[in-house]
Structure 1
Amino acid sequence: MNTILVVDDDSHIRKLIRIYLEKSQFSVVEAADGQEALELLSHTKIDLAIVDVMMPRINGIELTADIRSYMDMPILMVTAKGESKDKVRGFNAGSDDYLVKPFDPVELILRVKSLLKRYNKISSNVIHIGGVTIDLGNLTVVAAARTVELKKKECELLFALASSSGQILTRTQLIEDVWGMDYEGDERTVDVHIKRLRERLESIPELVISTVRGLGYRLELA
């Protein structure tokens, strides 16, 4: 069971988030401000943090930056302010996603699950499929003595496909996995990256990215 840290100085908001998280089978710990959160993080294993921006003592921006200085974990920032400058500050501090109050609790749960899914894939860093190694940290694909270097999004896309090898992933699933739920671009972005990925993998014929018409893409071993 994943443990979620909820950091907010409003006890009613913490209670609401706790109820929905626990209904979705998450374990929850709470902190009323950034200082309490850091104390909890020093002795409690946390899988994801939901952090409010406006808090006493240590605010959400400072807390996020502190966490990022020594720990790699998903951080979802929540705030009552919707201005772009607050989003920029949050992302610059190291948050992975952003949600504006008042929010739909169902959307909150979806974002938490999406972040955990993305983080779990990224944290594993290396996938071995057949005789091929996909290394997300080094952005490489290695087969025997052949090494292909990829761009970041290309490697993340291949990693997402390899994580569900043999299964069909829709364009929407791939966008959420690689670009995030807030991506506002066209689904054709996936098609463009798949085309480039196929070109780069010509020297590694062991991997085949198949198009499933009307559905999406599937990674298979030749």
Structure 2
Amino acid sequence: MHKLDYLKNLTILYAEDDEYAQQALSMVLEDYIGNIITAKNGKEALKLFSSNKIDLLIADILMPKINGIELARIIKEKQTNIDSVPIIFATAFTDTEYLLDSIKLRCDGYVLKPINIDNLLEVIHSAMLPRIQLKEILSKNILLEFLDVFIGGKKIEVIKYILEHCNSQSIFYGSHDEIADSCGTTRTTVAKTIQQLIDLKLLVKVRNKTYHINTNLIKANAESKQLKNNA
């Protein structure tokens, strides 16, 4: 089994119309996953997906109102590759006619019912690993960009804290007080640092205590530097 400690930091949305199956798997997953949100159909799942920070979706294929395939299609149409949330289908042998659709949608895996928890954890790990690796690469690139602007002092600690505590979608949730306490600095220093990052468009304030790391800008800057180096 892989090291799965990072699963405790994940929020998973589980869409399943069978109440017994939903409760049974949710109870088992609670031992591994930090937060589990459940939905009884695709329509409810779509609403919950839009109103919560979701790191991974597990969806039954055959559900009322909106089935799993259509749910995945709607979600993927609204996302970019870099910010995409992995989707895993839970399916019975009788659902094989839908598997071609899941392949076309480039979903991240499927598990057969009845669900084996070890198998599911392996599929979750396989789906999350590329995102984790991408996050690490982006974090290094972003940190280099930040270091071009900020030199030494507690500002670097603030930046590192934000990078280390953002989720798989490059979103950071946290208050100025939380950052200040963790970094051993003042709230004023944190506020000034974050505002400078916003002014540089390296951070985007989504709402109160929520910030998105501008990976598109970082990527563009990295590509620009690469072109200059190759010139």
Give me the TM-score of the superposition, normalised by structure 2: 0.53
Q: Are the structure 2 counterparts of residues 83 and 42 from structure 1 closer, same or farther at C-alpha, using a change threshold of 3 Å?
A: closer
Q: 1:32-181, aligned counterparts within 5 Å? A: 32-71=40-79, 72-81=84-93, 85-122=97-134, 126=138, 128=140, 142=226, 145-146=229-230
Report the structure, 1 or 2, having the larger strand content. Answer: 1
SS of structure 1 residue aligned to 2:21? helix
Query: What secondary structure does 1:55 align onto?
Result: coil
> What is the CA-CA distance between 1:122 and the residue it aligns to?
3.3
Say whether residues 1:30 and 2:38 are aligned partners. Answer: yes
Indicate the SS of the match to 2:59: strand
Structure 2: distance between partners of 1:109 and 1:25? 10
Q: What secondary structure does 1:4 align onto?
A: strand
Deviation at 1:113, TM superposition (A): 2.5
What is the Cα deviation at residue 86 of structure 1? 2.4
Contact 1:52–1:60 (Cα < 8 Å) also in 2: yes
Q: When you count helix as a share of all residues, which structure comes out higher? A: 2
For structure 1, the 5+ residue unaligned runs are: 148-222
- How far did residue 34 of structure 1 move? 0.6
Q: Is the 8 A contact 2:61 2:95 kept in 1?
A: no
Instruction: Please report how far the alpha carbon of residue 142 of structure 1 lies from its aligned counterpart in structure 2 after TM superposition.
Output: 4.4
Match of 2:18 in 1: 10
The 3-state SS of whatever aligns with 1:42 is helix
- Per-residue deviation at 1:83? 6.4
User: What is the distance in 1 between the residues matched to 2:33 and 2:138?
Assistant: 28
- 1: CA distance, partners of 2:102 / 2:135: 21
- 1:109 CA displacement: 1.6
Deviations 1:55-112 (A, max 9, x none): 1110000000011011320000111136654222112134111112123111112211
Of all paired residues, the percent bearing the same amino acid is 28
The 5 Å alignment of 1:183-202 reads none
Alpha-carbon separation, structure 1, partners of 2:131 and 2:57: 12
Aligned length: 143
Rounded Cα–Cα distance in structure 2 between residues aligned with 1:65 and 1:7:
15
Tell me, in whole angstroms, the C-alpha distance in 2 between the residues paired with 1:83 and 1:17: 19
RMSD between aligned residues: 3.2
